[in-house]
Homo-oligomer: A and B are copies of this chain.
Amino acid sequence: MRSPRLTIALAALAAVGAGEAFAAGSAVASQTFLWLALIIFLARLSSFVERFGVPGVLGELLMGVVLGNLTLAGIGMFEPIAQDTTIAVFAELGVVILLFQIGLETTVAELAKVGFRAAAVALIGVVVPFLLGTFVVGPLLLPGLGLNAYLFLGATLCATSVGITGRVFRDAKRLDSREARIVLGAAVIDDVLGLVILAVVTGFVQSGTVSARDVGIIVLEAFGFLVGAVVIGRAAAPYLVRILKGVSDSVATKLTLLLSVGLGLAWLAHAIGLAPIIGAFAAGVLLEPIFLKDFEAPEIVRELEPLVAKLPQLDADRAGKALERYRHHHHEHILEPLGHFLVPVFFVFTGMQVKLEALADPAVIGVALALTVAAVAGKVVSGIAAGPVDKWVVGWGMVPRGEVGLIFAAIGKQLGVVNDALFSVIVAMVILTTLATPPILAWLLARQRRESPLA
């Protein structure tokens, strides 16, 4: 009769028609609320590392590593979070919002300018690690596993998690640099190439053969999606804006336009086999501010604009510019709270996937370190193709494997190709590339800023 019993009764409800989803969702929901509250609170606390020049994203990743491994200290309370699929959805939504925001801060013109360089960087960043993994590092470090295992190792080394790099560039307010454009463009192409390699390797492992026609279809589908999304999206956007504005011209409408396009393309990307974040990035790129300028100005702008016009010329100009900038960036402001809420969930959750036990065996550490060196070298070398920019920044920008690497390795394990030992060293490599990149990239960006302060 006491309330815990009632809670159990509520939680036990299942398959009773209307109300079922609510009752079932209610117990999950309230557990989710606790996890979300804890994650965002602790993530915010972890941002104190920024005082020491450490990127905030590393603080969040490390907070995740700590939370995910507290069981080693006998604290099992946070253990369920890492396996919670609802939190996984919020985490994925977080990185989708992040890449959508980054896409909104990127224009097609800027990407086109670096298109050739980005393609070259992506190609090298996929071919070199793949060959290195399959034919050199695999056979050398883990002899006797067979070609299939080495192929999967190679495929995993191709992955790039642009979320981590994008966040570092964004926090450093360097998304408008040529280096950032090249890395973003290369990461998108990289994802397509990675998809092709994963599909080819999976097909080869399953059937021992791969047809050029199948590969061609995958490539066409993926590039067709990207080009189609941006071209069709840009053509359709003004009409979509007009329809929604016709219904109501408010902040809610603007946000709905942004989110329905962003989430819709994230779904579409996944449906054709790409990562959802690639769809979200494409959505951000296609929704340039020009489509949003027709919406009503935010209230504070409407209120102050006539007043500041009365200021002396110089001050009126300054105030007018501030209001104009606020208005022009209003779509970014209204996405900002969603980002502040959900993006840390992704990074903490990613950190929680790291199992320190995997690093407990000295033999594993040795192999993992060697593999990491190869993983870093294979990507950093791609910076060569970046042209007259800081090649180190571009190369290191491609290094983190993040959740993409983990998913590749998990597929290999599922197929029975990747055994426990190989899986452990892959996970260790993913951890090390993911944790090492933010501080190194931040240091490279700071050095660049010091050397050419006007850039």
Contact = CB atoms under 8 A, between A and B. Distances in A.
Interface string A13-40: 1001111111111111111111011101
Nearest to A40: B256
B407 A26 contact: yes
B34 A263 contact: yes
Interface stretch (A122-130, A353-361, A439-447): A353-361
A414 B407 CA distance: 40
B304 A308 contact: yes
Question: Chain A interface residue count: which class?
Answer: 35 or more
Nearest to A43: B256
A326 interface: yes
Contacts of A318: 307
Contacts of A33: 93, 96, 263-264, 266-267, 270, 276
Contacts of A259: 36-37, 40, 341
A102 interface: no
A294 interface: no
A293 interface: no
Contact of A18 (B25, B199, B251, B406): B406
Contact of A248 (B22, B44, B195, B423): B44
Nearest to A339: B252
A340 B44 contact: no
A307 B300 contact: no
A346 to B, nearest CB: 10
B411 A267 contact: no
A310 B315 contact: yes
A203 B9 CA distance: 11
Interface in A128-179: none
A24 B86 CA distance: 10
B7 A337 contact: no
B340 A252 contact: yes
A139 B26 CA distance: 32
Contacts of A307: 308, 311, 315, 318-319, 322
A407 B22 contact: yes
Interface in A49-98: 50, 82-89, 91-93, 96
Interface string A323-335: 1001000000011
Contacts of A25: 85, 87-89, 91-92
B17 A423 contact: yes
B322 A303 contact: yes
A254 to B, nearest CB: 9
A5 to B, nearest CB: 8
A321 to B, nearest CB: 9
Contact of A34 (B20, B47, B264, B322): B264
A423 B19 CA distance: 11
A286 to B, nearest CB: 15
A10 B92 CA distance: 15
Interface string A254-296: 0110011111101101111100100000000000000000000
Given A2-B221, A30-B92, A36-B263, 6 more contacts: A1-B214, A28-B88, A29-B93, A45-B247, A307-B315, A338-B341
**Closest 6 pairs between A and B when the two form their complex, measured CB to CB:** A25-B88, A3-B273, A19-B406, A30-B270, A19-B410, A29-B92
